[in-house]
Structure 1
Amino acid sequence: MSLRLTIYSSVNLLISDCNTTQQSNENHRKEADCKRAQGKILEENCIALTRDVQILKNKNDKLVDEIRKTKEERDILKFRLDELRGCVSSQRCPLGWRQINSKCYFLSTESKRWNDGRKQCQSQGADLVVIDNEQEQNAIYRMDGSQYLFFWIGLRRKDGAFKWVDGSELKTTFWQNGQPDNGGLNSKEDCVEMGDENQPLASWNDVPCEQMRRWLCEKDLCFSL
């Protein structure tokens, strides 16, 4: 039974008792006692109701505070995530990276082996570039504007077949003339470089993974939560 219904029932019972007493005995003292008792019950019920209202208010205040803290934690996590990705408010790619369409690219200035270059990309939340189409191939060709630029891309021979670092199959290719050749019988050329001394759509070459090359990292644009 709700508190208001309890109050209503208690008051009605007292009124009925008081009226009965008044009609049967015409006793003013008992009538006064009934009214005092009625007032006391009303007062007690009002106090209980006020207490319940305060309890509900405290619970509501606590929920509002928890929501505020959750929003603050969300904002902190978003800020830290953007920091990790190198994002700043004025741009969506990390500092030092270049935006092309919906991707961010980073061309190293130093040279490393294929595996080491890939690790450098992964340490920045990226990977060696996966070239999906002719448009992207043209966009990253001679990326730093210099001639005779060679850099690792995310393509490597595994189990006799070339695959991208994201596990996707190789479909569209931009090999140099006569490539891939695996370096002949006495060589093992499992990693792929992109060189700009040829035409942009014929610039891939397979070379030994232990050779030293610059590397090109790729990752998605920074996002907002």
Structure 2
Amino acid sequence: MFHPIFALVLVFSFFTISSGQPLPSGRQATVEEARMEQRILANIRPLIKQLGTCEAPTDQPCDNLSQEIRDLTKRILVIEKSLSRQIKLADCIASFENIEMNPKVHVIGGRCYLFGVEYLNWTSAQAKCRSAGANLVTDPSEEFLYFLKWIPGRYGLYFWIGARNTGGILKWITSDEVVKENDSRWGDDDPDVDGPNQCVLVQQGATKMYDYDCDKLFRFRPICQL
């Protein structure tokens, strides 16, 4: 038999959490506030689970209660996942605030990415990333390239990533591994590493890599990966 306090918890939790409404989009919760919400949700869960010990499992009210408990538990998991994303994003933003005001930061595949707004050559772009303890994106994942293809904003921007010509060979800067010429991520007619100063970039709205002169500034911005 469940204690009346559990029913009170269910009523409060169900109407405040399981209403299906998303978290307010305009709320700028701090990391501390988000973590507090996580602790509250973590305390609610075991109480709700105790409600599952209904004495009459074949009773229709008990069946309804059990379904409500399952729905509430699912909703809590969704909210906790959303809060985890908020915390991660807040941590990412804090990591890049020292190199850019109002940094345009995204979390992709659990990692932090800063989409820079300043036009820089490759060397300056990498130096900017390093000042935040990051690097230009290296060996970009399919998930990252897919995000780049559909990211909102002006189409056609170019971003430096972390590969450059070293001794006549294109290498990723963080692993020193060779960027293979038959890599499916290369755009048409690339790579062309005959020049002595070639670096690699990606284009917004596309999923391909291109090599280009490292010293060029035209529409070239950094994407830092942390």
TM-score by length of 2: 0.50
Letter in 2 for 1:218: Q
Match of 2:214 among 205, 209, 215: 209
State the secondary structure of the residue aligned to 2:145. Answer: helix
Report deviation, 1:132.
Answer: 4.3
Match of 1:149 among 157, 177, 185: 157
Name 2:187's counterpart in structure 1.
Answer: 176
The question of whether the paired residues in 1 share the 8 Å contact of 2:158 and 2:203 is answered with yes
Letter in 2 for 1:214: R
CA distance in 2, matches of 1:143, 1:156: 25
Name 2:171's counterpart in structure 1.
Answer: 163
State the secondary structure of the residue aligned to 1:162. Answer: strand
The question of whether the paired residues in 1 share the 8 Å contact of 2:121 and 2:216 is answered with yes
Name 1:40's counterpart in structure 2.
Answer: none
- Residue by residue over 1:20-63, the C-alpha shift from the partner in whole angstroms, topping out at 9 and shown as x without a partner, is xxxxxxxxxxxxxxxxxxxxxxxxxxxxxxxxxxxxxxxxxxxx
Is residue 2:140 matched to residue 1:129?
Answer: no
**Residues 131 and 191 (structure 1), Cα distance of their counterparts in 2 relative to 1, 3 Å cut:** same
**Residues 168 and 132 (structure 1), Cα distance of their counterparts in 2 relative to 1, 3 Å cut:** farther
Q: Name the % identity.
A: 27
Letter in 1 for 2:214: C
CA distance in 1, matches of 2:225, 2:88: 14
The question of whether the paired residues in 1 share the 8 Å contact of 2:165 and 2:198 is answered with yes
The question of whether the paired residues in 2 share the 8 Å contact of 1:105 and 1:217 is answered with yes
Name 1:192's counterpart in structure 2.
Answer: 200
CA distance in 2, matches of 1:168, 1:140: 24
**Residues 88 and 156 (structure 1), Cα distance of their counterparts in 2 relative to 1, 3 Å cut:** farther
Report deviation, 1:190.
Answer: 1.1
The question of whether the paired residues in 1 share the 8 Å contact of 2:202 and 2:209 is answered with yes
Name 1:108's counterpart in structure 2.
Answer: 116
CA distance in 1, matches of 2:31, 2:132: 15
Which runs of 5 or more residues in structure 1 are unaligned?
A: 1-86, 220-225
CA distance in 2, matches of 1:141, 1:160: 30
Q: Say how many residue pairs are matched.
A: 127
Which stretch shows the higher mean deviation, 107-116 or 156-165? 156-165
Letter in 2 for 1:165: I
Match of 1:92 among 88, 91, 94: 88
CA distance in 1, matches of 2:112, 2:210: 24
CA distance in 2, matches of 1:106, 1:144: 15
Report deviation, 1:144.
Answer: 4.6
Which stretch shows the higher mean deviation, 139-148 or 158-167? 139-148
Flag the structure with larger Rg.
Answer: 1
- Residue by residue over 1:169-194, the C-alpha shift from the partner in whole angstroms, topping out at 9 and shown as x without a partner, is 23544111111124x7xx54510111
Report deviation, 1:168.
Answer: 4.1
Q: What are the residue-to-residue correspondences of 1:10-159 with 2, within 5 Å? A: 88-89=31-32, 90=34, 91-93=87-89, 94-95=92-93, 96=103, 97-141=105-149, 143-159=151-167
TM-score by length of 1: 0.50
CA distance in 2, matches of 1:177, 1:164: 20
Report deviation, 1:157.
Answer: 1.5
**Residues 207 and 152 (structure 1), Cα distance of their counterparts in 2 relative to 1, 3 Å cut:** same
CA distance in 1, matches of 2:173, 2:149: 20
